[in-house]
């Protein structure tokens, strides 16, 4: 198949899924054209079947808000005509599904199909805003195929947008070989030289991630178990989070290491992953931690219960229950046998249920269905 993939290039789950899927599809012999405003950070290495096309556009003083959706649609039309693309796959509804729809209308005689994958905040937060909702609903309804990354997100889309069409659930996925390939990072020697436990959190530091809760959980855990906290990522809440660390006198125990392209080398040194989000349609970072045999302490919201088996691969609690999360975390860290068992089960679950070798063929089969419809 010849597939055009529309995605965001920045550190974020939808871009990771789009990139890893593109690599997997190219390895399976499909021709993949990735279209974005910059090269997605996860696209490592060269593959003869994979091409990246950056969307550029003219600016003009009248255009206070550059019309990216239109420039993207124009780029899609050019690419479809040049490379005979059969299907556009829009990751994150906004504005990608709308641009794909527009390109399809312009390319009528070429009979291009469109697939939209809903990732989370495109439905639960941004897309639900009244300023965008009607266009998002239209673009979802007009896509030839729609997928959601969890059963939760599928149901939420139906409720939020009143959509009646079929939405196929295709989960996020991991490469089980990645942790073993990860280069050794001497994190323990650097951050935990006296055998302290290492807790980790990775996110884009948006309000939905509740990074203050991460700090509050850690503040309590380190009173019970000698430990360190490593925070991966960047985003709007980072200053506030750094301030809380300083206010709680934890600066020597909490390390902000910024955005990282590959998480496995870091997760392979972690004892526990914290994800106390307010919203999480799936929780790809939690899955990536589980792939590295790391148990997860998270909230029992969104798609997280579809991923984290409560009491088996981690623990789930209501939003904001930082005290309970801390107690569970400390208890697990102190019980070596249980901690090892949870880590083993986490890895088993990641490899069994969310293996790229199982999930990528689901996308391939879905494309085939859509192309034949």
Q: Which helix (H) or strand (E) element contains residue 96?
A: helix 93-106
Q: Does 354 bind ligand GMT (CB under 6 A)?
A: no
Q: For the sheet with 2-6, list strands across it.
A: 50-54, 31-36, 2-6, 87-91, 113-118, 145-148, 168-169
Contacting residue, 22, 279, 299, 322, with ligand GMT by CB under 6 A: 279
Q: Which residues contact 217 (CB under 8 A, 6 or more apart)?
A: 199, 274, 276, 297, 322, 325, 326, 329
- Selected range binding ligand GMT among 102-110, 139-147, 221-229, 279-287, rule: CB under 6 A: 279-287
- Selected range binding ligand GMT among 78-86, 113-121, 215-223, 320-328, rule: CB under 6 A: 113-121
Q: Can you list the alpha helix ranges (DSSP code H) found in 193-335?
A: 211-224, 238-247, 264-267, 284-291, 304-307, 322-334
Q: Does 356 bind ligand GMT (CB under 6 A)?
A: no
- Selected range binding ligand GMT among 154-162, 274-282, 291-299, 352-360, rule: CB under 6 A: 274-282
Q: Does 169 bind ligand GMT (CB under 6 A)?
A: no
Of residues 17-46, those binding ligand GMT (CB under 6 A)? 17
Q: Does 206 bind ligand GMT (CB under 6 A)?
A: yes
Give 88 or 152: the residue with its C-beta nearer to ligand GMT.
152
Q: Nearest Cα to 120, choosing from 95, 154, 89, 153?
A: 153
Give 282 or 317: the residue with its C-beta nearer to ligand GMT.
282
- Selected range binding ligand GMT among 119-127, 211-219, 322-330, 333-341, rule: CB under 6 A: 119-127
Q: Does 280 bind ligand GMT (CB under 6 A)?
A: yes
Do residues 335 and 272 lie in contact, with contact meaning Cβ atoms separated by under 8 Å? no
Of residues 68-97, those binding ligand GMT (CB under 6 A)? 92
Do residues 316 and 304 lie in contact, with contact meaning Cβ atoms separated by under 8 Å? yes
Give 24 or 80: the residue with its C-beta nearer to ligand GMT.
24
Give 172 or 268: the residue with its C-beta nearer to ligand GMT.
172
Query: Which tokens belong to 38?
Result: 């910059």
Q: Which helix (H) or strand (E) element contains residue 178?
A: helix 178-181
Work out how close the CB of 34 gets to ligand GMT at its nearest, in angstroms, rounded to a whole number.
Answer: 15
Q: How far is CA 322 from the centre of its chain?
A: 23
Work out how close the CB of 360 gets to ligand GMT at its nearest, in angstroms, rounded to a whole number.
Answer: 14
Contacting residue, 19, 114, 121, 313, with ligand GMT by CB under 6 A: 121
Do residues 6 and 88 lie in contact, with contact meaning Cβ atoms separated by under 8 Å? yes
Q: Does 114 bind ligand GMT (CB under 6 A)?
A: no
Size of the site for ligand GMT (CB under 6 A): 20
Q: Residue 4 in 3-state DSSP?
A: strand
Q: Residue 282 in 3-state DSSP?
A: coil
Contacting residue, 14, 98, 227, 268, with ligand GMT by CB under 6 A: 14
Do residues 284 and 304 lie in contact, with contact meaning Cβ atoms separated by under 8 Å? no
Work out how close the CB of 210 gets to ligand GMT at its nearest, in angstroms, rounded to a whole number.
Answer: 11
Do residues 113 and 89 lie in contact, with contact meaning Cβ atoms separated by under 8 Å? no
Work out how close the CB of 92 gets to ligand GMT at its nearest, in angstroms, rounded to a whole number.
Answer: 5
Give 120 or 145: the residue with its C-beta nearer to ligand GMT.
120
**Residue owning tokens 């495109």:** 122
What is the C-alpha to C-alpha distance for residues 158 and 296, in angstroms, rounded to an integer? 29
Work out how close the CB of 211 gets to ligand GMT at its nearest, in angstroms, rounded to a whole number.
Answer: 12
Q: Does 282 bind ligand GMT (CB under 6 A)?
A: yes
Do residues 73 and 106 lie in contact, with contact meaning Cβ atoms separated by under 8 Å? yes
Chain positions contacting ligand GMT, by CB under 6 A: 12-15, 17, 92, 119-121, 149, 172, 204, 206, 208, 279-284
């Amino acid at each position: 198949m010849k597939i055009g993939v529309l995605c965001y290039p920045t550190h974020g789950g939808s871009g990771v899924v789009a990139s890893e899927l593109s690599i997997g599809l190219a390895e399976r012999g499909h021709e993949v054209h990735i279209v974005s405003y910059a090269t997605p950070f996860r696209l490592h290495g060269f593959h003869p079947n994979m091409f990246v096309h950056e969307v550029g556009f003219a600016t003009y003083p009248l255009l206070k808000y550059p019309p990216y959706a239109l420039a993207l649609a124009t780029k899609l039309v050019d690419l479809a005509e040049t490379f005979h693309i059969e299907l556009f796959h829009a990751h994150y509804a906004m504005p990608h599904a709308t641009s794909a729809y527009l390109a399809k209308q312009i390319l009528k005689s070429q009979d291009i199909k469109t697939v939209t994958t809903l990732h989370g905040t495109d439905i639960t937060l941004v897309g639900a805003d009244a300023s965008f909702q009607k266009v998002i609903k239209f673009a979802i309804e007009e896509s030839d195929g729609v997928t959601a990354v969890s059963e939760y997100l599928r149901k939420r889309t139906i409720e939020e947008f009143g959509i009646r069409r079929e939405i196929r659930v295709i989960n996020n996925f991991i490469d089980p070989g990645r942790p073993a390939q990860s280069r050794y990072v001497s994190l323990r020697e650097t951050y935990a030289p006296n055998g302290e436990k290492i807790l980790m959190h990775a996110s884009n530091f948006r309000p939905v991630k509740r990074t203050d809760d991460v700090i509050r959980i850690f503040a309590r855990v380190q009173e019970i178990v000698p430990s360190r906290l490593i925070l991966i990522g960047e985003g709007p809440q980072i200053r506030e989070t750094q301030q809380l660390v300083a206010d709680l006198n934890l600066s020597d125990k909490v390390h902000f290491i910024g955005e990282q392209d590959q998480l496995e080398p870091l997760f392979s040194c972690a004892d526990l992953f914290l994800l106390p989000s307010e919203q999480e349609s799936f929780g790809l970072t939690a899955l990536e931690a589980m792939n590295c045999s790391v148990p997860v302490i998270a909230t029992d919201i969104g798609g997280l219960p579809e991923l984290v088996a409560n009491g088996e691969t981690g623990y789930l609690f209501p939003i904001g229950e930082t005290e309970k999360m801390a107690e569970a975390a400390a208890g697990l860290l102190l019980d070596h046998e249980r901690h090892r068992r949870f880590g083993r089960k986490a890895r088993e679950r990641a490899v069994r249920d969310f293996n790229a070798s199982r999930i990528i063929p689901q996308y391939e089969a879905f494309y085939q269905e859509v192309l034949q419809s």
